[in-house]
Structure 1
Amino acid sequence: MTQRKYFGTDGVRGLANTFPMTPDVALRLGAAAGRYFRQDKKQHRVVIGKDTRRSSYMFENALTAGFTSTGMDVYLLGPVPTPAIGVLTRSMRADVGVMISASHNSYQDNGIKFFGPDGFKLDDGAELKIEEFLQGEIDYAKAENIGMARRIDDGLGRYMEFAKSAFPRKKLLDGMKVVVDCANGAAYKAAPIVLWELGAEVISLGVNPDGFNINLDCGSTHPDAAARAVLEHGADVGICLDGDADRVILIDEKGQVADGDQLMGLIATQWAARGTLAQNTLVATVMSNMGLERHLDDQGITLKRTNVGDRYVVQEMRSGGYNLGGEQSGHIVMSDYATTGDGLMAGLQFLNAMVESNMPASQLLQVFEPMPQMLENVSFTIGATPLENSNVLQAIADGEAELGAKGRLLIRKSGTEPLVRVMGECEDEALLKTVVMNIADTVRSVA
């Protein structure tokens, strides 16, 4: 397939006001997407949501101008979680949904993600076609056919009611104390309200966004503050979301952090026992721990691995008819409920497990013993190709030979940041550290 210039593993992403995340590119991107989805002369609509970073407002305006210039009507939802776009694109019969967010990145970055009319993220072919339109001439609408834009006030409320569908009716969280860290991001309103309406006593963190503090020392990538709050308040569990609330990290009552692999292992095991795990299969990425794979194999559950990125997980789920997938980072996709990762709904699924089993979070989240895993991120100069360097290739080959059958390596470029991710797994932790650091240092020397 032709190399994409703008789209990465999760939409278009980068430093705000630096190519490709500039207002002029966003305007043309909206117009190109409008041309792609508006294939006839009928009225068409797009729903646009955003997270709380300062630049999201700028890109919202630019995208609105682009879409309306091609005759599409724009419905602005304001700050909503990414999974809300998947839900509302379908329920509002929109032709396309857009989420403005750089997920777990700091406020300086931003991104633009597209959802099709079915509520799923676009595939590579659709993104490539939009790029072709973006780099060509935009087919602007006539003056009388320019689209209109309006703000929708009840979008967040619609999503909140939908999110509660992940929790069984007639069950409540009465007596349960829950810490929720919303990362000063898109779920800062929705998550605490949903948990409270279901009966929990809620301690809220990361619910005061100022445009610059999204993901800052909080949320799923920085769970320490939530862990401290769990211990301080004697909470039963902590739920940490990221900036756009499509991923979740859980904290047990002892302040211990559990990643997406443990949660996927729990849900897969429970669903399999009930006979509701489609084809007795979990879909995860190459990053998921070998300990998870061993646990599932012992349970007679198949693990299918994909490339990194929740969109690839979803594509495999759709093509194979599976209903559970996710990533170690906390993207949990439950296709019986949603079209993309939903941190809040995954958290509710875990709370339901606590209620049903009457077991503490610490016991439920010890699903398997993880194999020692090490991840080293190495930044590189944009435009550089460190993974093509002969010294790096030799270091990788040497590392694989040293690990042999005792472990594995995964070295890849990030699809969202200028980073090389060097990940290894091995039961011998000393050997693991030596191998990973040697490769990382070699990459660093040429990056």
Structure 2
Amino acid sequence: MRRLFGTDGVRGRAGEYPLDPPTVRRLGAALARTLGDRARGVRFLAGRDTRESGPWIERELAVGIRSQGGALVSAGVIPTPAIAYLTPRMDYTAGVVISASHNPFEDNGIKVFSGSGEKIVETLEDRVEAVMADQSWSVSDASESAGVDEVDCRAEYVDHLLRILPPDDRRARVPIALDCANGATATVAPQLFERLGFDIRRIGCDPNGRNINLGCGSTAPDLLARTVTETGCRLGIAYDGDGDRAIFVDDRGGIVDGDAVLLMCARQLKAEGRLKGNAVVATVMSNIGLDMALREADIEIVRCPVGDKYVMDELLRRGLSLGGEQSGHVIFSEHLFTGDGLATSLQVLRTMEVTGRALSDLAAGLKKYPQVLLNVRVDRKVDLKTIEPVAAVMEGVERRLAGHGRLLVRYSGTEPLLRIMLEGRQEGEIQRWAQEIADAVTEHLGRGM
């Protein structure tokens, strides 16, 4: 059996392994056997995004969980961070989210949260996989015909968000644009921002099961940018399919990513004495310009591998309050230990209101170095240091950067790809250098793409 858990839970094409009905059902049973406490009962709170495969995956999980004496209660279509927030507060054993984030509708996935609202650690994933592989037990189909119990808990999540930024009638004439990616935030975001008092323009708020992330959302912000500039909005906010990340468009139509959000929020938290440890966690993919801007603000930056779970690990280990990714996953640990696009939106809006500055002005503090990203398809994944011609090219690039840039070369955790990221002062120059590395890798490990 291939490994189930990847960098962000279980993910694949709906209906195919590992998201075929028998495997999903057995996974539900394995989760109940691994995470459950029979003395207290085994109760899972589930949520999903708007993909057409979500309901049947939820039902199969429920059958598996019930076969082990547990119960799954569905919160329906709801953002991922809502499940992380509500699971401990409603005293569930664990939380389960059925979503493939920013992927197209054909894909889906299963993320698991502990009873304390954090993504389960890799050692626990390993235990679940070991239980899955143990053939000494089987899943009973006695409860196959039973339905899934439901609970409406969106109001509790919205109330939590309103504590970050309370409603204010003075916002009645402040226009903002929302792009909900035809995903999970479409059930919450418009109502939330109307309660806050904003005049909203809606994009991607009509999910049909197949249009999630289709030409909209955080990975396709062009329509949002046009809407902001053409309708005179103060800003635009784009979410991904499950609502754990947000990308912004400023009043001039510029894209504001997670790096800029980390900088502006770090400065504001520091000014308020709320930036724990005077440090920010960012992944290795964040632009080197963020390092320089934070250094100017006398704030330390802590780097970690790509993935919001690694950001969370560093926040917990160091006792820090802010971290995130360039992609828009931002974690404010005083609220939640996972990325929350809606909470991030409210923190940005709060910063704008407190400082009286436009988003374009706040984002201008980040001077980004040119960045080049190349993918090389590889036939195998080996340590590049052991391939002398490739290592020599990489060392040559490092020498030419001379401390005024950054080279990051890593294998994808989910695809047969080597990712090359190069930052430096001149875009044309680093493009050539990145291609030199790509050509060397292609010659020895695969073919370029």
Name the TM tier (shorter chain). over 0.9
Give unpaired runs (5+ residues) of structure 1.
none
| CA shift in 2, pair 1:183/1:360, >3 Å | same
Structure-to-structure mapping, 1:337-416, within 5 angstroms: 337-379=335-377, 384-385=380-381, 390=387, 392-393=390-391, 395-416=393-414
Structure-to-structure mapping, 1:31-430, within 5 angstroms: 31-137=29-135, 139=137, 150-168=148-166, 173-379=171-377, 384-385=380-381, 390=387, 392-393=390-391, 395-430=393-428
- Give the deviation of 1:368 after TM superposition: 1.7
| CA shift in 2, pair 1:441/1:112, >3 Å | farther
Give unpaired runs (5+ residues) of structure 2.
none
In structure 2, what is the Cα distance between the partners aligned to 1:430 and 1:263? 27
Secondary structure, in 3 states, of the residue corresponding to 2:118?
coil
Amino acid at match of 1:34: A
| CA shift in 2, pair 1:441/1:55, >3 Å | farther
46-55 vs 168-177, which deviates more?
Answer: 168-177
Amino acid at match of 2:34: Y
- Give the deviation of 1:27 after TM superposition: 1.2
Secondary structure, in 3 states, of the residue corresponding to 1:239?
strand
What per-residue deviation string (whole Å, max 9, x for no partner) do you get for residues 45-100 of structure 1? Answer: 00111111122222112111111111111101111111011011111111110111
- Give the deviation of 1:253 after TM superposition: 1.0
Secondary structure, in 3 states, of the residue corresponding to 1:405?
coil
Amino acid at match of 2:421: M
In structure 2, what is the Cα distance between the partners aligned to 1:375 and 1:129? 36
Partner of 1:29: 27
| CA shift in 2, pair 1:103/1:171, >3 Å | same
- Give the deviation of 1:241 after TM superposition: 0.5
TM-score normalised to structure 2 length:
0.92
Instruction: Calculate percent identity across the aligned residue pairs.
Output: 39
In structure 2, what is the Cα distance between the partners aligned to 1:444 and 1:165? 52
- Give the deviation of 1:230 after TM superposition: 0.4
In structure 1, what is the Cα distance between the partners aligned to 2:343 and 2:143? 40
CA RMSD of aligned residues (A): 2.4
TM-score normalised to structure 1 length:
0.92
What per-residue deviation string (whole Å, max 9, x for no partner) do you get for residues 230-287 of structure 1? Answer: 0111100000101111011110111110110000000001101111100111111111
Is the contact made by 1:34 and 1:72 (CA closer than 8 Å) also made in structure 2?
yes
96-105 vs 10-19, which deviates more?
Answer: 10-19
- Give the deviation of 1:398 after TM superposition: 4.1
In structure 2, what is the Cα distance between the partners aligned to 1:338 and 1:172? 28
In structure 1, what is the Cα distance between the partners aligned to 2:193 and 2:442? 44
| CA shift in 2, pair 1:114/1:167, >3 Å | same
404-413 vs 207-216, which deviates more?
Answer: 404-413
Is the contact made by 2:67 and 2:142 (CA closer than 8 Å) also made in structure 1?
no
